[in-house]
């Protein structure tokens, strides 16, 4: 059964989610890639309050038309690139939701359990379909400093579908898949 998850993404809301559950997100989310995560992890100030917010590992394709930004593609980027920063960002900025593809590592899993955060996986390769869930670009930060792909985009989404693959209790589908894959490989190699 799919759960609706609306911004603000409070600890109470995310603690109810379980690994393997499908969610539909609505409200404000913020994109972030390598440069933003490094800045935030190193103690840099966020231009927005990320408490009870979501960071989406994405560099959306945007165009400017009639003074407004329009998102043409909003696919996820590989989350594991942010692993070295993620636990620190969760702790310092009280982020409750991380969205991306490919999963995260043990440091992020432990931070999710300790600080009340979830990792949501969206489908890679579906950037145009995911862009249809973006109802508004509410703002952009670090555009001049980082460029369009690395800028922090404030997106208002509705109906962004994802799967909880790390929950706020530390349960991880990635860990389960790794264990079962090892078992299967051991059987095959015997």
Active-site residues: which are they? 37
Q: Which DSSP category does 63 fall into?
A: E
Query: What is the C-alpha separation between 172 and 32, in angstroms, rounded?
Result: 22
- Give the contacts of 26 (CB within 8 A, at least 6 positions apart): 4, 5, 6, 7, 157, 158, 159, 160
Query: What is the C-alpha separation between 127 and 184, in angstroms, rounded?
Result: 33
Query: What is the C-alpha separation between 24 and 130, in angstroms, rounded?
Result: 12
Tell me the H-state helices in the chain. Answer: 11-15, 34-41, 83-93, 106-115, 127-131, 143-146, 173-189
């Amino acid at each position: 059964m799919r759960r609706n998850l609306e911004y603000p993404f409070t600890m109470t809301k995310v603690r109810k989610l379980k690994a393997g559950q499908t969610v539909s997100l609505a409200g404000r989310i913020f994109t972030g890639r390598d440069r933003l995560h490094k800045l935030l992890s190193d103690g840099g100030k966020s231009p927005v309050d990320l408490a009870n917010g979501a960071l989406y590992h994405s560099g959306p394709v945007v165009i400017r038309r009639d003074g407004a930004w329009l998102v043409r593609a909003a696919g996820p980027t590989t989350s594991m690139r942010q692993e070295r920063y993620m636990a620190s960002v969760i702790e310092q900025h009280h982020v409750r939701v991380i969205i991306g593809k490919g999963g995260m590592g043990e440091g992020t899993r432990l931070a999710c359990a300790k600080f009340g955060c979830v990792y949501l996986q969206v489908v890679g390769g579906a950037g145009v379909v995911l862009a249809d869930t973006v109802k508004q670009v509410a703002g952009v930060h670090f555009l001049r400093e980082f460029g369009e792909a690395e800028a922090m985009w404030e997106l208002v989404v509705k109906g962004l579908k994802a799967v909880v693959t790390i929950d706020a209790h530390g349960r991880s589908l990635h860990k389960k898949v790794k264990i079962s894959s090892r078992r299967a490989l051991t059987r095959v190699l015997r």
